[in-house]
Structure 1
């Protein structure tokens, strides 16, 4: 069950990660990054992704200061 949940959370995750790593590389290879951007866009369209979020952001939104106020 955990495996399928992780898989759902990582929809187009590899494509997004590849693009981010491409942008961070030095020297910057614009052609390669544009190709990866197109791959990510195609994945988003195919999987009907509406929004991305980071796991750390989800935790902060649920409990922004780490303690619940009473």
Structure 2
């Protein structure tokens, strides 16, 4: 097994598919709705409570370290 591979965040592919769907023009609402349901099923099965972006996590860690220092 290749140890250099970064694990993919939970439901990342489903979220990415939905985001890319809403950028399409014209908007295919039926396709996006199917992808929304797919994402919802994934987060329900994995018991996801909240998503954050990597940049948000970095800012939070940086602000916490400044308070401690």
Q: TM-score range by the shorter chain?
A: 0.7 to 0.9
Cα offset, 1:22, TM superposition: 0.4
Q: Aligned pair 1:42/2:31, yes or no?
A: no
Task: Name stretches of at least 5 consecutive residues in structure 1 with no aligned partner.
Answer: none
Is 1:20 paired with 2:19? yes
CA displacement, residues 4-32 of structure 1 (integer Å, 9 cap, x when unaligned): x623xx10011001001101111100000
4+ residue runs over 3 A deviation: 67-70
Long gaps (5+) in structure 2: none
State the secondary structure of the residue aligned to 1:63. Answer: helix
Q: Distance in 1 between matches of 2:4 and 2:54?
A: 15
> What is the TM-score normalised by the length of structure 1?
0.78
- The 1-side partners of 2:26 and 2:43 are apart by 27
Deviation at 1:61, TM superposition (A): 1.1
Q: CA deviation at 1:2?
A: 6.3
Q: How many pairs does the alignment contain?
A: 65
